């Protein structure tokens, strides 16, 4: 079954994570994505490891964000490379790039030129810190932006700034970029013209600050890291049982009245009567809760909490997540045929559409795997024009 973007052609000039993650999401939605790569070396992540897989030393990092694309080797520093790109742009709906500010202009492929070639083109440009401002154009990898954008200051044990264990700034920028592309494609149905969509890792992290941001902007309270606790809600976090830890989330009064009797507490105890009371007495409440949890295992307590309708969960390792029946039931693991590794499993797309059967996905491409086919397709398109 065709995907929602089945008639959309994406030219992908991006590398590393944010851009490739965005174009993989567009491919998951059915778009045809042609990934333009530097001859000989390709996307930098092709060399990122360990771990590598198979005797050919395929980067698992590269595999993680390039499913469902075609790879074309093209040197954009040459007239020939730019000419081929212009031919692709003429037929494309979307172009995605995450070069440093000014690189596209220096290549003679700035936004004005792209829209001269194809006025309907939607251009997505992702940078580290933004396209303008006093630090516009500054390069920024995910970990650097996590520090600069404040997320490290509210992550990890108190007093120990920690980065998120995923490339969260890249991922958020990719998701915001895809949302912008979809909005621009929809607008194009009315206007007939493309739009430039700009986002950055910085903007995407700051845009996700949520309550941590308004703690400062409205209350002038500087958030600090509180480990696995929640700064405003308790009990909400990680708690020790007899054989390890579980997570519990008691986020409202109704849940508190169900939870308190399970751990031997009076829901009307004035120490813990309201959400602010419980947050102020978090350490005392945690000690009371963990004294009760010490009489049972994780499995026993998860069963009790589930029966009472109190949100709780395990703390799974990554390998356990991929073996979990619930993960697989949601289509979050897909199998693809890789030309060097054979049949492999990859993290799957997070969206499903009602009534759509499971779709076949294609493996991340080898470097230049589709160069000849794409050039032949262009010749055919121009011959039939």
Q: Which residues are catalytic?
A: 170
Residue 33 to residue 5: CA distance in whole angstroms: 11
If we measure between CA atoms, which residue out of 74, 73, 48, 72 comes closest to residue 61?
A: 48
SS3 (DSSP) at 297 = coil
Please name the helix (run of DSSP H) or strand (run of DSSP E) that holds residue 84, with its range, or none: helix 79-91
Q: From the DSSP assignment, how many helices (H) and strands (E) are in the chain? A: 16, 13
Instruction: Tell me if residue 86 falls in helix, strand or coil.
Output: helix
* 236 vs 286: CA distance, rounded Å: 9
Beta-sheet pairing, 342-347 with 333-338: antiparallel
Instruction: For residue 341, report the phi and psi dihedrals to the nearest 5 degrees.
Output: -100, -10
For the chain, the farthest-separated pair of C-alpha atoms sits apart, in whole angstroms, at 81
C-beta separation of 242 from 233 below 8 A: no
- Strand-pair partners of 95: 11, 123
Does residue 135 have a cis peptide bond before it, meaning omega lies within 30 degrees of 0?
no
- Give DSSP secondary structure letters for 300-315: HHHHHHHHTT--EE--
């Amino acid at each position: 079954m065709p995907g929602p973007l089945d008639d959309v052609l994406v030219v992908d000039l991006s590398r590393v994570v944010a851009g490739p993650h965005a174009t993989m999401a567009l491919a998951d939605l059915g778009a045809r994505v042609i990934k333009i790569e530097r001859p000989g070396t390709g996307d930098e992540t092709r060399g990122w490891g360990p771990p590598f897989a198979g005797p050919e030393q395929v980067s698992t990092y590269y595999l993680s964000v390039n499913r469902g694309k075609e790879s074309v080797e093209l040197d954009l520093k040459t007239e020939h490379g730019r000419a081929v790109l212009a031919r692709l742009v003429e037929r494309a709906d979307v172009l995605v790039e995450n070069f440093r500010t000014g690189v596209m202009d220096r290549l003679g492929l700035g936004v004005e030129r792209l829209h001269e070639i194809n006025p309907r083109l939607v251009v997505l440009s992702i940078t580290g810190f933004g396209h303008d401002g006093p630090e516009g154009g500054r390069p920024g990898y995910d970990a650097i932006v996590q520090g600069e954008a404040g997320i490290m200051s509210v992550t990890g044990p108190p007093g120990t700034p920690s980065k998120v264990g995923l490339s969260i700034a890249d991922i958020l920028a990719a998701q915001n970029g895809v949302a912008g592309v979809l909005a621009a494609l929809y607008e194009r149905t009315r206007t007939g013209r493309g739009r430039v969509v700009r986002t950055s890792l910085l903007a995407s992290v700051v845009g996700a600050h949520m309550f941590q941001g308004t703690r400062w902007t409205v209350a002038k309270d500087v958030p600090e890291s509180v480990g696995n606790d929640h700064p405003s809600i308790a009990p909400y976090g990680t708690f020790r049982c007899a054989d390890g830890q579980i997570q519990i989330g008691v986020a409202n009064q109704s849940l508190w009245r169900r939870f308190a009797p399970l751990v031997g507490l009076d829901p009307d105890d004035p120490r813990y009567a309201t959400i602010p009371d419980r947050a102020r007495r978090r350490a005392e409440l945690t000690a009371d809760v963990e004294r009760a949890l010490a009489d049972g295992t994780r499995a026993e307590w998860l069963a009790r909490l589930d029966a009472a309708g109190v949100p709780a969960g395990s703390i799974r390792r990554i390998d356990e997540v991929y073996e979990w029946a619930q993960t697989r039931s949601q289509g979050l693991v897909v199998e693809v045929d890789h030309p060097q590794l054979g049949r492999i499993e990859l993290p799957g797309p997070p969206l499903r559409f009602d009534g759509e059967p499971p779709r076949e996905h294609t493996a991340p491409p080898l470097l230049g795997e589709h160069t000849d086919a794409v050039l032949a397709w262009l010749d055919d398109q121009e011959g039939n024009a």
